[in-house]
Amino acid sequence: MARTQVGIVGAGPSGLLLAHLLHERGIESVVLENRTEEYVIARVRAGVLEQGVVDVFRAAGLSGRLEAEGLVHHGIELRFQGKGHRIAMSELTDGRTITIYGQNRVVEDLVAARRSAGGPLLYEVSDVSLHDLAGARPTIRYVHEGREETLECDFVAGCDGFHGVSRASIPAGVLTEYERVYPFGWLGILAQVAPSTEELVYAYHERGFALHSLRSAEVSRLYIQVPAGEEVEAWPDDQIWSELHTRLARDDGWTLREGPVLEKGIAALRSFVTEPMCFGRLFLAGDAAHIVPPTGAKGLNLAVADVTVLARALEDFYATGSDAGLDAYSDTCLRRVWQGERFSWQMTSMLHRFPEEGPFGARLQLAQLEQVVSSRAAATALSESYVGLPIL
């Protein structure tokens, strides 16, 4: 039987960052991942980092490439009725910014840091199961390279996402789950074309929401709202570009650049929170505990906040023997999580067409948009949520 201080299930951003933060504090960990390294890195996910998240990476010595290649943005544009309205976030939040830096690059940086530190990072692990979570020595059983293994831990961190084994290992009746499933999804494309905008564009249109995001100076990320259950095969590239042109149109001559589509896919939208975010010596982090619709760009940022809080609590436990930080972990994280859920719901509700709401609902959305772009107080509230609450 192998032994470590913290067993980490999942090698996405939250699991890898937790491993790095623990290594910096002299705490051992083993990271287990059921997918291949190539699969985990190749997943195209979030790309908007809050100011506080960039600060965490900088303090952890992980910001070299991020600061060299990341695109720092001081505002966003809300576009509706053919006009663009810039929200000057930095001016409204004492200079705080967001940084565009793809999640795949975050994972690459974290993998490189883990390799450099020499910490165990096992891919293609199967048959993972968690045991004795309420005891002082929980164990993780798994199969790796054809061998059955058992890892004894002081603590287990469940960083394995919404469909992972960690949350499912908690006994029935312990957790309360809150969920909202939206009646639409996002059809996203990654295109080999220079962005047509210098900052993110969130567009409200009678045909549905659209978003123009960025990945680099040469690659654009774009999305359109589609009905729930839609198949990506129903959307040839020409039709996607046509819809993007329509929904992102502005009446001042702005044009959308087109380019080869590198990837496309459809993601369902849901809000989900489980309470508490722990059981015994198992602590859930990231998508294992909460999901937000991507409109607010909070998923990766909430995950980083979770593991930053957890690393600090574990550091305190090993340094002083105090359980106070671990006991407070769930409540501490959930306060931020519910603010992220609130903001993501606000952005989603304001910008997407809800068929069941009809013309009355559409007029309310336009009224809300008008308030945000005409009221400094409303724009400040949106900006403060967008650039992010303090991590700790």
* Catalytic residue numbers, as ranges: 73, 202, 294, 298, 386
- The closest alpha carbon to 270, from 188, 345, 342, 207, belongs to 345
| Angstrom distance (rounded) from CA 164 to CA 86 | 39
| Angstrom distance (rounded) from CA 291 to CA 46 | 13
Q: Is 266 helix (H, G, I), strand (E, B) or coil?
A: strand
Question: How far does Cα 225 stand from its chain's mean position?
Answer: 19
Residue with tokens 């001081």: 74
Q: What is the strand order of the sheet 147-152 is part of?
A: 2-3, 147-152, 139-144, 126-131
Angle, helices 324-351 vs 358-374, to 10°: value is: 110
Dig out the tokens for 221 from the structure.
């990320």
| Angstrom distance (rounded) from CA 204 to CA 362 | 10
Q: What are the backbone dihedrals phi and psi of residue 9, each rounded to the nearest 5 degrees, phi first?
A: -100, 110
> For the residues of 94-105, what is the DSSP string, one character each?
TT--EEE--HHH
On the 0-12 / 13-18 / 19+ scale of CB atoms within 10 A, 346 is middle
The amino acid sitting at 287 is: D
Torsion from C-alpha of 292, 31, 106, 12, nearest 10 degrees: -30
Preceding omega of 276 cis (within 30 degrees of 0): yes
The amino acid sitting at 215 is: R
